C-alpha cells in the first residue's frame, strides 16, 4: 500500500489490532485490542491486570497486525519495540486519547459510559512508531485497471 492508502486504512474505525508479545516463559501471546493511529504511531492501552502488560514490561518487542478479511483485504504487519508513553496511574493525563480510541469502536455515549465504568482500572499508554518499526503492507488488486500481479 502507498503511505496515503495505509494512513486511510489505519484511520478507519473498527479495525482491531492484534498485538503479539512474548511471555516470561518465552511463548508468544496474541491479543486483539483497540487502537488509534495518529502522529505516525499506533497507540494502545493495556490495563494493569493484563498479562500482555507484564509481557511488555519484561520485553517491549511486539508484532502488531491490522487486517480486514473482506473488500481489498488490506493488511499491515509492524514489528518493533513498544514505547511506554504513560505508566499506570497517569490515566488522567491522557484520558482524551483513550476517549478517542474508544470512540473508534463505539458511539460516543457508549464510549463515555465505558470509560466511566472502568475508570478505577488503571491503564498504561504505549505506542509503536511505524517509522521505527519493520513494516509490510499489502492489499488485493481490486481497483479498476490494476494489474492483479502487480501488488
**Domain edges within the chain:** 3-138
Q: What is the mean pLDDT of the chain?
A: 92
Query: What is the C-alpha separation between 43 and 35, in angstroms, rounded?
Result: 5
Q: How confident is the model at residue 69 (pLDDT cuts 50, 70, 90)?
A: confident
* 74, three cell numbers: 488490506
Poorest-pLDDT segment among 46-50, 75-79, 108-112, 132-136: 108-112
With CA atoms as reference, report the closest residue to 72 among 137, 3, 18, 4. 137
Which SS3 state, helix, strand or coil, does residue 137 take?
strand
Instruction: Please answer whether residues 62 and 20 qualify as being in contact, where contact means their C-beta atoms are separated by less than 8 angstroms.
Output: yes
Q: How confident is the model at residue 119 (pLDDT cuts 50, 70, 90)?
A: confident
Q: CATH classification of 3-138, choosing from 2.60.260.20, 2.30.110.10, 3.30.379.10, 3.30.470.10?
A: 2.30.110.10
Which SS3 state, helix, strand or coil, does residue 38 take?
strand
* 28, three cell numbers: 508468544
CA distances from 113 to 33, 34, 107 (A): 19, 16, 10
Cα 106 from chain centroid? 16
Predicted structure pTM score = 0.89
Amino acid at each position: 500500500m502507498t503511505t496515503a492508502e495505509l494512513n486511510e486504512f489505519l484511520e478507519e474505525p473498527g479495525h482491531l489490532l492484534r498485538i503479539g508479545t512474548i511471555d516470561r516463559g518465552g511463548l508468544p501471546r496474541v491479543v486483539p485490542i483497540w487502537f488509534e493511529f495518529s502522529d505516525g504511531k499506533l497507540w494502545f492501552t493495556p490495563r494493569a491486570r493484563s498479562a500482555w502488560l507484564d509481557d511488555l514490561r519484561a520485553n517491549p518487542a511486539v508484532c502488531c497486525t491490522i487486517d480486514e478479511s473482506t473488500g481489498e483485504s488490506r493488511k499491515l504487519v509492524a514489528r518493533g519495540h513498544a514505547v511506554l508513553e504513560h505508566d499506570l496511574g497517569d490515566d488522567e493525563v491522557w484520558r482524551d486519547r483513550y476517549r478517542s480510541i474508544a470512540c473508534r469502536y463505539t458511539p460516543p455515549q457508549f464510549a463515555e459510559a465505558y470509560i466511566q465504568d472502568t475508570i478505577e482500572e488503571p491503564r498504561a499508554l504505549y505506542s509503536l512508531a511505524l517509522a521505527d518499526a519493520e513494516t509490510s503492507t499489502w492489499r488485493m488488486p481490486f481497483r479498476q485497471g490494476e494489474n492483479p500481479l502487480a501488488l
